[in-house]
Chain A
Amino acid sequence: MNEFLQFLAEPIAQRSLWACGVIGFSNGFVSALVVLRKSSLQIGTISCALLPGIALAILLFGLVQLSILAGAIIAGLLVGLGSLFLSRTSRIDHDVALSILHATAFAIGYIILIRLGLQQKVDDWLFGNIMSMGNADLWISYAVSAIAILSITALHRPLLIYLFDPRAAATMGIPTRAFSYGIFTLIILVLVSSLQAVGAFLTLGLLVAPAATMYLLTDKAAALFWGGGLIGGLGSILAFFLSYPLGWHLGATIIVMMGSLFLLAYVFSPKHGILFRNRQRKGKNKA
């Protein structure tokens, strides 16, 4: 315990704790977009497709924060939009195109990273390493979080109309195409900023589970955002405190925490949990 307190006093520990809270919150907040758009599988594949962008950026510019970020965004957009293009210009379905592109992109990225002798880094990109985040990384993820939360909050009215009923949104003068690209870009930005924390494989958990958990708890769309943010932020902080004494990998602990919270809601949610729903059904049958 004493050892843990000593560890907490270290700047690196405090920085990680902050990072957990902020990244967890912003991912949880944005996860509402992913859940409401029902695009979680797409996001999962795109997150892995970021790898070649990162690898190429390192190859071309060395380990420079901003170029890595740019490379990841470009790779994400290329795979995302490329799969749309493939599906529109052939008889291949969007999901199929996305699967192929993301696997190929991932493989290319892996080859480049290994060739560059960045074996250790590969693990960090895949599974995350909050401790390795430098100040610049943290500032980038704070800035991205702020952008995401502010823009979603400012636009929440038209955003919800668009997410629920894009056609009616268009008739109300909401620029639906801009919203569609904007949401995609925002998700990729958040994805990239959390990539170092939880890694490409695990990021899906943080970018889907929080709002999915809220989805089982509430009928209010707005609550998915703030509730998702709280679950993501507090859950990540809790995972931080658990991972040290248990000696577990921090990124993986965060994702296990998210999965556990989701399962808890699935079973115990007063409105939509299976326990209560079954009881409701029985009650109805009696009546």
Chain B
Amino acid sequence: MSTRRDARPDFEEFVVVCSDRLLRTAYLLTRDPALAEDLLQTALTKAWFAWRRLDEQPEPYVHTILVNTYATWWRRKWRGERPTGELPERGQVTGDGPETRHDLWVALGRLPRRQRAVVVLRFFDDLSEADTAEVLGCSVGTVKSQTSKALAKLRVDPALLAADERTRETT
């Protein structure tokens, strides 16, 4: 990029400093490493064109682009996710931690994309409800209700209910 007539060294610095964190957010949203990289590069490209208009804190803006691109992207990328009415066959219970994590990860994958985005922003990126609302372009009330619905959905997810049952059986 530095060979172009309007090189933006601060943009390159931003990519070096911030893109790893953004990539992880993208991965939690897409659940596919390749898609996550694609999503991140798409967001960074959009940010590059708007870079001169951004203030000194571009990360929230890029964050917003990333999440909104994901929200509108499902039509072109959903082929990677294979919807199924049946849960995958489970292996033997070998321990509490990894098993629970796997179940939770599976359950997160079943959340609608909007709710998944709220969960990632609130509990991975540690954004406040107000900041989450700003990133998603909705009201704080919507963030609260989406968070509540997402958590309720996770609690009754078959994978997690099965995990709870296993835990009860072993104790």
Q: Are A and B subunits of one complex? A: no
